[in-house]
Each structure stands twice: as C-alpha cells, then as structure tokens.
A and B are shown apart, each in its own frame.
Chain A
Amino acid sequence: MSSNFDAKALDLRGVSKWYGPTCPRCREGGDTALEMNYCPACGTVFALRDISLTLYEGEVLGVVGESGSGKSTILNCLYYDQEPSLGTAFLSSFEGGSVDIFSVSAQAKRGIRNSLLGKVYQNPVQGLKMRFSSISNVAEKLIAAGQRRVATMEARAIDLLGHVNIPSYRMREAPEFFSGGMQQRVQIAKALSNNPPVLLLDEVTTGLDQSVQAKVLDLVKQIQRELGISMLLVSHDLGVVRMLADRTAVMLGGRIVEEGLTDQILEDPQEPYTQELVHSML
C-alpha cells in the first residue's frame, strides 16, 4: 500500500452550521447558553459547532454519534449538498490544499464534486437516478468530468459494476428494480467512477439486513485496501466503525467530544457520552 499516513487528504477547520438568526446570547455565550444544540432565546439550531477534523491519506476516519448530532451535516457540507455557515476546508488534491474549497466558484465546486470526491448516501434515491440504467448512473460522473466517449464510459461502468458484484445481465436495468443492497452497491460503483482521492460514506449499511451489510462492508474494506482511498465514514453503528475505521471521532450536539484511535475509543472511552455509547453496544 502506497499510503502516506502523514499527508493530509482533507482538513476541516472550524466548520459550523446553524439554522436560525442567532443572537448575542448564543453567539458569545458558548455551551452554557444552549440547551443541547438549541438556543432557547432565538430558536437557532446548531447542527455543527466549530468542527475541526483531519483525514489523512489512505485512512478511514469514522464519525459516530446519535441521530441529530451533526454527522451527516459534515458530509453534506463537504459534498456541497448544504452550505456551511462558517469555516474552511482544504483538499490536498485541489490546488495542493492551499485553497478553501468552501469559498471557490460554483463551477469549481462542481469540478471538485465530480472529480475529487465520491459520496455514498444513506438513501440510494439521493445518490442515484433511479430510472436510468445502472451503467448510465456510473457514467454520469464521467460525463460530468468531461468524458465524451461512449465506449470508454461503458467499459469503465461495466468494470466497476462487476467489481461491486452486479451481475452483467442486470447492468442495463434501472436501480429502481434492484434490492436495497444492490442499489447501495451501484452507488459505491458510481462514487468510485472517477477514482476520487476522498470517499464520503453516509450510513452505508443502515437499513440493510445483516448478511447484505457484511457484503457491503467487505466491499468497502476491499476497495479501501486495493485503491488506498481516504474515507470519511459516518455511522451510528459502532460495529461498522470498529470494523472499518482506523480512527474515530465521537459527536454530540454538533460538537466532537472525543477523537482517537478506534480501538482506544472503544476500549477506554474517556467522555461520559462515549462511555454511554460504548456500553450500549449489543
């Protein structure tokens, strides 16, 4: 493996996201002014509060936390599905990591989204065009990146769909006719189509049955080993994180409360919330 664990693939600095007007009380009061992540004075909800995270090359960074803790919002901001209220992010593959990817033009954002990032959504409806054939779904990112040769795109899509175990006789079918696990695998193939240096995974196995979960996890693990892609993995399932993530960040109420090696977090949790989370594992 050619990974360089010292090099940063992605760096988030002080990212915040809130919904509402904000008031002096919640802007300056800090944690004491809020009930969890809600300001009772002005009604503002803080989804992310001053998040700083570093994803190194070739590593899998897990983000865990209860629902509403802001896990998915991080990925949504990075993939430009949502706009952060504050903060910066740097991708080593974009301008050598010198330019904040939140402040570039809309066209540059599309370029980053199409060529430098891949995302697998929890709900395949968000990540796929359900009525277009699976091959077209994978080709979509290639077209967006400027590819204009049908044969090249078809070959690449067939190759990737084969890689995620979609049988060749079903590749021309639309994902709306697929099972949940198959849809998720088409999403993974699509996310990988442009060899992105960073992959964002949002609850990839949630809603799948145990055996299919295991297959999807195996696939992610295998891809990570073969291609050395850096992954930001969001899950509320500690089992998934334990299996895949090298390091883990624990989130609560829009903040990162604890961060460290996955084994360390699971074996010796320091924060009360992390302890509660680990102890509630089946």
Chain B
Amino acid sequence: MRKKLYNFAFFDEGSKREVRRAILKAVAIPGYQVPFASREMPIARGWGTGGLQITLSLVGRDDVIKVIDQGADESVNAVSIKRLVSGTTGIATTEDTREATIIQSRHRIPEAPLVEGQILVLQVPTPEPLRFVEPSEYATKRLHAEKEYSGAYLALFEEIMKHGHVSTGADHPVTVEDRYVMAPSPIPRFDNPKLNGSRALILLGAGREKKIYAVPPFAKVASLDFEDHPFEVESLVGKRCRVCGATGVYMDEIVDAAAAVYQCNDTSHCDAVLKARRAAFDGEGGAA
C-alpha cells in the first residue's frame, strides 16, 4: 500500500481552518481585503499560491476541480496546480466548466455561465486597487476605511487625459455592494460584468500579498467609470473564432503574417462549441 505522504489536500487541518476563517470574513464583508497567514507552498509566490490555498482549504472528497490559466486548461501552470490538488486529495478533475464544483482561474472568468453551488477561485497578484496612486499600505487601509476612492478614479481620469479613453487592459477596478472598491484580479474588462450578480461564489486570493477577498453570490458589482465616459468592455464586434466559429466571446488576437486572426481564449468553451456543432452535423446525417 502506498504510504500517505501528505494530509488530505496538502495542508494540516489548522492551516485550512485559518484560511477558511479568512474566507468567511471575506464573504461577510464583500470586497474587503482580509489579511491571512499565507502559507509556504510547493510553488513559488506569485504563481497562484493565493488561489491554491483557498482551493486546498475548501476542497472535499466529492468536489470536482477545474483549473484554468488565462482561459486555457492545458497550460503548464494550470496542469501543475491541478495535479497538486488531485495528487493530495484524489478527487476528479475536469475541463468542463459545468461539471466543476471548484474552478481555480488565473485572469479569466469562464464563458459558460456559472451556477449556484459553484465556487470560482481567482488568483490575484495585486489585491490593492489603490496601490498605483498610494504606495503605502497604512495609507490605503485608511482610504478604504474612510471610503475615499478618488485615487482609483484619478488613475482612470489620467488614462482618459493621456489616451482619450480608459485603457485598462485588465484589472479594471469595481465597487462591490456600493462600499469597497476592489481589484477584480487581472481579468479582461470583458469579464467584469460577469461579477455582477454572479450565481457562483467568487473568492480571490493573493498569496504573496497575504489577502483574501470575496464577491458573494448575487452581490452588486459595478465597474468604476465617469458619467461621460461609461464603462465599456473590449469590442469584439465582427470577430469570429477561427476554430469553432463562436462570436461574442473573449478572443485572443493572433497576429499572423497575413493578418490578425482570432481564437476563443476559453479553450473548454471552444471545445464545447465544436462538439455541439459536430453532434448537430452528425444528427442531420451530414457525415454521409
């Protein structure tokens, strides 16, 4: 019989409890960054340790886990994290968003709508939305306490002054439940609207910065904007995935020698669309 090298889900029970305690507080105060005792991990800080600690503290024997890295299920980082979780728990992994109970993600919210009972865990490099304008943690804590968010607006205003429009490529700040301004992790602006009223619980973990925060299900989440410069997602009008033909999803731009081509960023969504098309094709007897 194989010797048991680690406790279930790698962590000792005390560590899991500490992380869960921070998660509970985070859910109770939507958008508020809860400090927690970030553990040493077998992967380096900055490689998803915040998300991984949340996942490991929550996972149970009946869970099915999906891990994605910038939309891809097969990237090295996603595969390594998936193997660590399944290797220390023995639970099943999946690439199908709808099958998963816990989805750990780096920089994307999946295309398939999340449902009640699912948990989305986002990896966060910089949890502080005001860091760009205020380097001091002591000062930003006070700014949050006093709900003083002009710094976040100032950063957007500066972009409009420089470029004529808001140019946040990712991590566009949001206000949660009309109270805390939160960094949604570097998801594209395209994914920001999915945070609002999400049916799944969204947990965000920053291992290096030792912060956990949350968007509980059905919470109100609004992206920061100005009256005459309303929030806009990236325009993908007229773009079509070169593999599955999908439209209206977030796509990667691949610059080829001839021209730029587009492809679904969410690989599992791309697969699902392809399978559905094939099924429809076979169903019509088109194969003959």
Contact = CB atoms under 8 A, between A and B. Distances in A.
Interface of A: 106-107, 110, 114, 129, 132-133, 135-136, 139-140, 143-144, 148-151, 153-154, 172
B153 A148 contact: yes
A153 B142 CA distance: 26
B228 interface: yes
Nearest to B166: A150
B162 A133 contact: yes
A161 to B, nearest CB: 12
Given A149-B226, A149-B228, A150-B229, A143 B146 contact: no
B161 interface: yes
Contacts of A154: 161
User: Interface SS of chain A: helix, strand, loop or mixed?
Assistant: helix
B31 to A, nearest CB: 18
Given A129-B133, A150-B228, A172 B150 contact: no
Contact of A144 (B150, B160, B162, B229): B150
B157 A143 contact: yes
Contacts of B145: 106
The interface size bin for chain B is 10 to 19
A135 B150 CA distance: 15
B146 A153 contact: no
A107 B150 contact: no
B17 interface: no
A129 B157 CA distance: 13
B146 A107 contact: yes
Contacts of A114: 150
Nearest to B148: A110
B284 interface: no
A107 B145 CA distance: 9
A177 to B, nearest CB: 14
A136 B153 CA distance: 10
5 contacts: A129-B154, A136-B154, A136-B161, A143-B154, A172-B162
A172 B158 CA distance: 9
B228 A151 contact: yes
Contacts of B226: 148-150
Given A139-B154, A149-B227, A150-B228, A133 B146 contact: no
Nearest to B143: A110
B21 interface: no
Given A129-B133, A172-B162, A150 B148 contact: no
Nearest to B226: A150
Contacts of A151: 228
B141 interface: no
